[in-house]
Amino acid sequence: MNENGNGGIKVIKSDGSKVSIDLDKIHRMVEKACRNITGVSESAVEMNSGLQFYEGISTREIQSILVKSAHDLISTESPNYQFVAARLLLFAIPYLLLILSSYFIKKDDKLVKSSDRIR
């Protein structure tokens, strides 16, 4: 077991690479999503998620579980969890843009190579 107490579980990142799970990073993400929102609790989101880490869990799955956890906490007494869920969901946008841009750059490179052959 390492210093994070996770026993060396590997997670699959969006690019397909495998890295050791970083529980501190997950906590920081929840902490950031809850920052400056009244009536919400970081620990409630984390505990409600009931995260069961297993070898090969994807970072996308972890994020989805956390979004669902925050969503499930939304109630008339605690409506601000909707903002936590939204922030957790928005954290994925930069990664999606990176993946899409990489895809289109590769596609553009293929187009340039094929046009070079025509000349």
pTM, rounded to two decimals = 0.72
Residue 2, in any domain of the structure: no
Assess contact for 34 and 44: CB atoms under 8 A.
no
pLDDT score recorded for residue 1: 43
| Interatomic CA distance for residues 49 and 73, integer angstroms | 10
Q: Is residue 4 part of a domain?
A: no
Residue 86 lies in a domain: yes
How many distinct structural domains can be found in the chain?
1
In a domain, 46, yes or no: yes
Sign of CA dihedral 20, 3, 55, 101: negative
Which residue type occupies 6?
N
Predicted confidence at residue 112, as pLDDT, reads: 55
pLDDT in tens, the chain (119 residues): 444 445 588 999 878 899 999 999 999 999 999 999 999 999 999 998 887 788 999 988 998 899 999 999 999 999 999 999 999 998 878 766 776 777 777 766 665 555 555 55
Q: How far apart (Å, rounded) are the C-alpha atoms in residues 27 and 42?
A: 8
Sign of CA dihedral 67, 72, 77, 82: positive
Q: Is residue 107 part of a domain?
A: yes
Which residues sit opposite 11 in a β-bridge?
19, 57
Task: Bin 38: left if φ > 0, else alpha if -120 < ψ < 50, else beta.
Answer: beta
Which pLDDT value is given to residue 108? 61
Tell me if 44 is assigned to some domain.
yes
